[in-house]
Chains A and B, each alone.
Chain A
Amino acid sequence: MNILPWDLSVIPQRFFLFTEAAGYTLQITFFGILFGLVIGLVAALGRLSKHNWISAICRAYIFLIRGTPLLVQLFIVYYGLTSVVTIAPIPSAIIALGVHNGAYIAEIFRGSIQSIDIGQMEAARSIGMPMGKAMQRIILPQAFKRAVPPLGNQLIIALKDSSLASTIAVPELMLKGRQMGSSSFMYMEMFIIVGIWYLIMTSLLSFVMHRIEQRLKVSDRE
């Protein structure tokens, strides 16, 4: 151990001091993604709308959000809006993560909706289903299934991106790592702990998404 300039034995010792911070990371990721799913679905349907102005609004949203960094969006929500409304750090992080991921999720949903064979919509309409009902009963259930793998990917990205919330004082993993590092001068050890926490959470997410994928496979030929 002495060959290395770091005291790696503190890693297991201090590991669980990060539990609460990991909870915050999970919390902002979970609600951020939930918010993002709602925005994403609305924006995807909006983009596919035959009303040009609705489609244009949704395209503009996706263009603006995908073209700018999450950090900028986070600062706009937390600092930028203060002259209008003050939002606490955690809600700010959830809003920024939601709006940010919503743009990507919208594109995931749009792609998966468009990948469903046109014959499905025609068959639904041919038995007299209105457009909305056909979307809800026939197209979206199939599209969601196809969206699961890319959504899993997006979820992992969101979890890691939540570390940016450390910049607006959300007491999540990254901030905890910086605080613990500066108070002990054991930066390497503390950031290794942070890294391990992220790795554990992303692994669990991958596993859960994989299970969901498997369970949705019932109607496919194996």
Chain B
Amino acid sequence: MTVSKETKKTDETILRIEHLVKRFGELEVLKDINLEVKRGEVVVIIGASGSGKSTLLRCVNFLEKAQKGKIYINEKRVKNSEKQLNKVRQELGMVFQHFNLFPHMTVIQNVMEGMVQVKKIPKDKARTYADQLLAQVGLEDKADVYPAMLSGGQKQRVAIARALAMEPKVMLFDEPTSALDPELVGEVLSVMTDLAKKGMTMLVVTHEMWFAKEVADRVIFMDEGIILEEAPPEVMFEAPKEERTLAFLKQVLPQ
């Protein structure tokens, strides 16, 4: 299965990270990270565990507070104030490794929650849009089911719909398939691929090299808290410049 890669990427910078530094105590997890993402671009971050890729993603929507650095959304600096963060987070959809669906709410309630409680959209309108989103991720028949009754792949698709409900400008995926049984990975990646085709800007941390190869516009290799190398996938996977990148790719790609 190959994906036609018509690039919807524009020149408009939607996310810019400048000189980001994050420490956990003595440990410097992110060391001066600089990154720009254009509207419509799919950027995949790869790297060994502990390289700081998840932390980077979590710093972008301030689930982790970085010690230094600036983050711009649409060229507007994001300040670390609760009020502004609540706004900014609506523009950054987050998908977690462990789904984090709300277990006390049905699938449709999960998707509607942000629209109704945060965006104050009337319930009937929210319901209509939530139904559309569930159809988009192929779960229209699960609307009234509780998350406990779903498979991991279904849960993650609901989580994607929940994030999309806020109509974000950028979607952040934090290892979205790492907690899934192998046979369920495909359904989640295919939803993500659809989303990429529709022109969604995506920043994805993943170990699925297939996805990086086929869907990414740009692949970033992180190593020990820095961006060691970044390149289009065909370059990154065929002719990486750095030795560490090559070593990592040799480990994860079956030859």
Contacts and interface: CB of A to CB of B under 8 A. Distances in A.
Contact of B96 (A119, A141, A145): A119
B90 interface: yes
B61 A129 contact: no
B117 interface: yes
A137 B101 contact: no
Contacts of A141: 104
Contacts of A145: 104
A210 interface: no
Interface string A187-218: 00000000000000000000000000000001
Contact of A122 (B86, B93, B100, B146): B100
B149 to A, nearest CB: 6
Contact of A120 (B87, B102, B165): B102
A220 B113 CA distance: 19
Contacts, number: 74
Task: State the main secondary structure of chain A at its contact with B.
Answer: helix
Interface string B103-133: 1110000000110011100000000000000
Interface string A110-130: 000000010110111111111
A219 interface: yes
Interface residues of B, number: 32
A154 interface: no
Interface in A132-157: 133, 137-138, 141-142, 145
Contacts of A219: 103-105, 146-148
B100 A128 contact: no
B61 to A, nearest CB: 6
Contact of B162 (A127, A142, A220): A127
Interface of A: 117, 119-120, 122-131, 133, 137-138, 141-142, 145, 218-221
Interface of B: 61, 63, 82, 86-87, 89-90, 92-94, 96, 98, 100-105, 113-114, 117-119, 146-149, 159, 162-163, 165-166
